[in-house]
Amino acid sequence: MSSKKSYQNQNLASINLNEFQVTKEGNRYHCSRNALNIATFQNYTLYISDKPILGNIDPKSSVWLDISANIIVDQNINKFDTLIYELSTNLYFQLKLNISKSIIKSNMIHIENENLHFLNNFPVDEVLYFPERQTLYFMEFLEKNYHPIIYQVKK
């Protein structure tokens, strides 16, 4: 107990993850945080989810984009990119720092993907693209036959 207090006293000033930032460039997300200098550093984990990240998450029990986790073991790495092909209009990012027996959470970043549109729920088995019309034609597979559905996108 005394060692934990000692640790907190020594490192509290430098353990500030609230400068965690994420910027988006296409499908690439640039993540950065303030520099760390912690003697008891073990690793930090970047969590990415399509829902706000809760406190007691277990990435091993979740499916991709319910939540995903990248574990980084070098505290000198404070900028990194991650490539995501979104399946959600909302993405949430959060860093969790693992030091000794403590976990410190960063601020949570929410990025909205305005270019992603979800259609009504129907199974799509084939997609045709008509470039001159900027039109997608979706083929729904029903009872061993394809059923053409037009989905026209206009900018």
Partner 1 sequence: MKSTILDSDFYIKLNKSAFGNNGFGDELYLVTGETSILTVDANTLELKNTFTPTRKVKEMATNNNEIFATSYERKVKLYQRYDFNNEFDLAPYGNNYGLEFSNDVTNRLIQIGKTEIHAYDLNDLGVLLNHSFQFNPYQTNWVNNNLIMSPSGKYIANNSKEVFDSNLNPIAKLESPYS
Positions that interact with partner 1 (CB under 8 A): 115, 117, 119-120, 126, 128, 130-133, 135, 137, 139, 142-155
Least Å distance, CB 143 to partner 1, is: 8
Closest CA to 30 of 79, 88, 89, 94: 79
25 or 143: whose CB is closer to partner 1? 143
57 or 149: whose CB is closer to partner 1? 149
**Cα Rg, the chain, nearest whole Å:** 21
| CA torsion through residues 103, 46, 25, 89, sign | negative
d(CA 69, CA 75): 16
Rounded to the nearest angstrom, the gap between the alpha carbon of residue 29 and the centroid of all alpha carbons in its chain is 9
Least Å distance, CB 152 to partner 1, is: 5
74 or 126: whose CB is closer to partner 1? 126
Least Å distance, CB 86 to partner 1, is: 16
61 or 121: whose CB is closer to partner 1? 121
Query: How far, CA to CA in Å, does 119 sit from each of 124, 132, 151?
Result: 10, 22, 9
Residue pair 141/122 in contact (Cβ under 8 Å)? The answer is no
Least Å distance, CB 123 to partner 1, is: 14
